[in-house]
Amino acid sequence: MKPLLEIEGLSVEVEGRQVIRDLSLVVPEGETYVIFGPNGSGKTSLLMSIMGIPPYKVVKGKILFEGKDLSDFPTDERARMGIALAFQYPPEVKGVKLKDLLKICVGKKPEEELSEDVLKLAERLRLLDLLDREVHVGFSGGERKRAEVLMVLSMKPKLLLLDEPDSGVDVESLRLIGKEIQSYLKSTGSSSIIVTHQGQVLEHIQAQKACVIFGGTVYCYREPKRIFETISEVGYKACIECMGRNL
């Protein structure tokens, strides 16, 4: 498979503190990668760096998307190139309705209506009642996750970045978002990187590969369920010691 995303020897700092250390990763077209790692290991930092969020500063290495070096592109251009990120902790956007932000996601003007497809997706994600509410204001954990998935899937990305879609979410919401994400990836052949701490999302989404991040760098690529089982049995520390660095 042709590579969609290539990360080569990447080091990233936030306010002088190193969060990613000499990390390399290749995600081919049409494949889903799962990234495991304990809290603070650099999982979110990796997604933020791919998206080009300002405090994450690339100090070494590069990120190529469809062969183009992303370092020259600000976040909004990366979004238009086909990269979408669903946040683990999205901010509240006061005074802006979810439906209006959705229109922005799909490139519609405020006075235009949302398409039938997007409304149907909102209905399947049980979000129709929230479209007139301010973005994430007063949303429950499950509503936030579903709203994030609604927005990023509406953008029809080539690369879908999901930051802990299974944390702080009820079983029903996880089932709903898992089903929609899996169906999107399968029908479009898009790629995805899913960051997870607990791994429940794997019950709903088929991933081709998984790796473990620790201390800002990648340890070990394996089949996702095998890694998950190992982590569940022996924990991250033992997992890393056992497998060693295996790229």
Close Cβ partners of 205 (under 8 Å, ≥ 6 residues apart): 32, 178, 181, 182, 185, 192, 194
The yes or no reply on residue 183 touching other proteins (CB under 8 A) is no
Among residues 62 and 80, whose Cβ is nearest to other proteins?
A: 80
For the CB of residue 167, give the shortest distance to other proteins in the complex, in Å.
18
The smaller minimum CB distance to other proteins, of residues 82 and 215, is found at 82
Instruction: Please give the DSSP secondary-structure letter assigned to residue 114.
Output: P
Residue of 40, 55, 168, 235 that binds other proteins (CB under 8 A): 55
Site membership for other proteins, residue 13 (CB under 8 A): no
Binding mask 139-158 for other proteins (x = CB under 8 A): ------------x---x---
CB-CB neighbours of 111 under 10 Å: 6
Pick from 75, 167, 200, 208 the residue near other proteins by CB under 8 A. Answer: 75
Question: What kind and span of H or E run contains 16?
Answer: none
Dihedral angle sign, alpha carbons of residues 72, 76, 78, 84: positive
Residue among 129, 96, 101, 125 at smallest CA distance from 114: 101
What amino acid occupies position 12? V
Asked if 16 touches other proteins (CB under 8 A), the answer is no
Q: Does 51 bind other proteins (CB under 8 A)?
A: yes
Q: How far is the CB of 67 from other proteins (least distance, A)?
A: 22
H helices present in 63-209, as ranges: 75-81, 98-105, 116-124, 141-154, 171-188
Closest CA to 208 of 76, 32, 88, 21: 32
Q: How many residues bind other proteins (CB under 8 A)?
A: 26
Smaller CB distance to other proteins: residue 133 or 179?
A: 133
Residues that bind other proteins (CB under 8 A): 51, 53-55, 74-76, 79-80, 84-85, 87, 90-91, 93-96, 101, 104-105, 107, 110, 134, 151, 155
